[in-house]
Structure 1
Amino acid sequence: MFGWLLHNKHTLGVKKNIIYFSLIVTGALFFSFSRAAWLGFVIWLIVLWWQRLQLRESQVTQLKYAALTFGILTVLFFPMVSTRVAPSATAQTEQRSVAERIAGFSQFKSVMRDHWFAGTGLGAYTTRLFGATGDTRTPVHAAPLLVFAELGLFGVALIVTIAWLSRMRISTRTVLLALIPIALFDHYLFSLWSGQVVLFLMLFQMFQIRDNDKADDNQQ
């Protein structure tokens, strides 16, 4: 995805390096074994392929390489992929994951009864989980809900503003389409510093590309 965003403005030699880098990132994404990340990647591929007539030939080529890399890794590591995508009834870790998510949504509703307007404050969500102890004190597994819980109505306004500002351009819409599944099924984009770095870097690149596209349109 970073390769896609950076691909427009560079020389041929740098573009090749970016393609190689994007393939490495695709591999890293695969080996995260995050179903939300996989879903976001697949949606990103489908949307871009559907709109491929609007893309440059080099971008379509990069898209093919990314899809091929992901496909090859899926075949090579299919037993592990099948465990993540279609967990068996004996997969205790998967059962625990589902149970944690269900409990998290229930805890979210109880917290928001008292903090729907201003939120709990940044990083304070888990301290408001009354009756939860140990491993059960985890953020709700949905970044938008966690933003709402910690920032209140301001968080909702922030999400709506980002979506509104990115509505017109294929490059910015594509980034959001890739981020949405990850955000809906996990919380690390907002709760962990590493996820925050990824999120803010993606948003920065998204709006930078949008501004560059506008400048190109004005020159034409």
Structure 2
Amino acid sequence: MVKTSKKMQTIIPLCLAIITCVLLFNIPLKLFILIFGGILVGILSIYNINIGIAISIIGLPFIPDELSLIFIIFLVGVFLFNQLYREDYSIRGSFMGIPIIIFVLAIIISTITSTNPTGSFRDLAIHLSALGFLFIIVNSVKNKNELNVLLTTFTFVATLVALYGLYQYKIGINIEAKWVDKASNPDITTRIFSVFGNPNIFAEYLIMSIPISISLFWTSKKILKKIIFLLTSLILTIALILTFSRGGWVGFVFGIFIFILLVEKRLLLSLIPIGIISVFIIPNSVLNRIMSIVNLNDTSNSYRIRLWKITLDVIRDNWVVGVGFGHLPFKQTFETYIRTMPTYHAHNTFLEITAEMGIIGLIILLTMLFVTYKYSIKNLTKQQDKYLKVITAGLLAGLSSVLCHGLVENILYMPKIIITFWTVIAFIFVTIRLSEKCDNVRS
């Protein structure tokens, strides 16, 4: 098996080199550079799957969704191919994987039984690809150093995305009128969205990233690294503020509360004076935006409340198995209830899942999340390795932040956010496995 594997590692790059030479003389230069870059990325991923994982994380915010999904599928194929030619073939599994498997089966069945199977397939393909990415991360990251490299890559990429958002604020980029109710928020002229096209979607990405950056700052021993991750955390937080996403702000505060609760409970008391001082120093535009959260006359709030009421009607009529997995079956069904209010999703992840997959789908999702939190916190509380403890807390805080935001947005709608969501869960699974490994070594 080992000899065969070595032969394949020689043959594949050789074949790719021949193909590259042929292409060079038959296609335009720009297209050749694109293809050559793709081939190089492919070779690096074959050489080391962790390089491919890092490249996927780097490219996710910037390249088209279709390319991200194709590359992830390619990585899954590379991983499975490598496993077949390994003498020590093994796939890591645990009890935590069972709810994921059940969830996969549920979304496949919900796609088959959907009111619009073709429409459901879009979301099915995205989720299966993202779950495939989870699978290779869990089975490829073998130690703390590899995990740290990927988390650092994730943080730097998020910071780069945030910096582009800050540039948008500096130049005063135009925004859609529906993003701000001028009657409630007269001072807001710009909401940044970076590469995500929408401030709320950008906020979802940021609130999963900030706790990771903070946890890397917390665990860094060298002063230079602490300064670097302090800067990334500040840049990401400023970008979140400038999205003016109220759901993102609430999710972020909830995530930080979870982080402090898991890492250092004594800091909870410090949140009170910080909150009081903030009232006097934050700009009026931010303060007014915060106050508008409870303003039912705000157009965004009134729109969501009306949307939720109609979604509850959809759920009431399809409460067992839902209308079918994905936003398209929901959209088509929703618009049979009211034609003057077109929408793409329910602006609430849990209502959306219930409408799509019924109460059974909601129970499966909540069970999967419960198992993830249960085993993560169980390992965290008994963990003596500071790095793994803080990193786990940061990942759980990021997951908690976006789930909290999910009360007012459908976080499982845009491909980039879906992939990031499952990537964060993948990292959580890795920390649990590494924690168990540390426990076995000590025992």
Change (3 A) 1:84 1:118: same
Q: 1:138 Cα shift?
A: 4.2
| Distance in structure 1 (CA, Å) of the matches to 2:421 and 2:293 | 32
| Distance in structure 1 (CA, Å) of the matches to 2:397 and 2:256 | 9
Q: Is the 8 A contact 1:100 1:136 kept in 2?
A: no
Q: Say whether 1:144 aligns with 2:350.
A: yes
Q: 1:212 Cα shift?
A: 2.4
SS at match of 1:166: helix
Change (3 A) 1:43 1:191: same
- Structure index of larger Rg: 2
| Distance in structure 1 (CA, Å) of the matches to 2:217 and 2:438 | 15
| Distance in structure 2 (CA, Å) of the matches to 1:99 and 1:34 | 16
**TM-score (structure 2 length as normaliser):** 0.40
> Which amino acid is the alignment partner of residue 203 of structure 1?
I
Matching of residues 19-30 of structure 1 within 5 Å: 19-30=230-241
The CA RMSD over aligned residues, in Å, is 3.5
Q: Is the 8 A contact 1:5 1:209 kept in 2?
A: no
- 1:115 corresponding residue in structure 2: 318
Q: 1:193 Cα shift?
A: 2.4
> Which amino acid is the alignment partner of residue 406 of structure 2?
A
Matching of residues 121-200 of structure 1 within 5 Å: 121-123=325-327, 124-129=329-334, 130-133=336-339, 135-152=341-358, 153-168=360-375, 169=377, 170=380, 171=393, 173-187=396-410, 189-200=411-422
Q: Is the 8 A contact 2:256 2:397 kept in 1?
A: no
Change (3 A) 1:11 1:211: farther
Worse-matched range after superposition: 110-119 or 120-129: 110-119
- 1:84 corresponding residue in structure 2: 289
| Distance in structure 1 (CA, Å) of the matches to 2:228 and 2:320 | 47
What does the per-residue CA deviation read over 1:144-193, in whole Å, with 9 as the maximum and x for residues that have no partner? 22122212313430232122222242525434432332111222x11222
Q: Is the 8 A contact 1:43 1:177 kept in 2?
A: yes
Q: 1:204 Cα shift?
A: 2.1
| Distance in structure 2 (CA, Å) of the matches to 1:16 and 1:211 | 30
Q: Is the 8 A contact 1:142 1:184 kept in 2?
A: yes
> Which amino acid is the alignment partner of residue 184 of structure 1?
L
Q: Is the 8 A contact 2:349 2:409 kept in 1?
A: yes
| Distance in structure 1 (CA, Å) of the matches to 2:241 and 2:277 | 11
**TM-score (structure 1 length as normaliser):** 0.74
Change (3 A) 1:147 1:105: same
Change (3 A) 1:161 1:195: same
Q: Say whether 1:37 aligns with 2:244.
A: no
| Distance in structure 2 (CA, Å) of the matches to 1:109 and 1:88 | 22
What does the per-residue CA deviation read over 1:61-105, in whole Å, with 9 as the maximum and x for residues that have no partner? xxx9xxx9x99998765211122111399x89x621111111111
Q: Is the 8 A contact 2:250 2:405 kept in 1?
A: yes
Q: Is the 8 A contact 1:142 1:183 kept in 2?
A: yes
Q: Is the 8 A contact 1:5 1:206 kept in 2?
A: no
Worse-matched range after superposition: 30-39 or 110-119: 110-119
Change (3 A) 1:206 1:28: farther
Q: 1:53 Cα shift?
A: 3.8
> Which amino acid is the alignment partner of residue 87 of structure 1?
S
Q: 1:209 Cα shift?
A: 2.3
* Of 42, 49, 60, the match for 2:260: 49
| Distance in structure 1 (CA, Å) of the matches to 2:432 and 2:253 | 23
| Distance in structure 2 (CA, Å) of the matches to 1:139 and 1:104 | 9
Number of residues of Structure 1 aligned to a counterpart in Structure 2: 206
Q: 1:125 Cα shift?
A: 0.8
> Which amino acid is the alignment partner of residue 433 of structure 2?
D
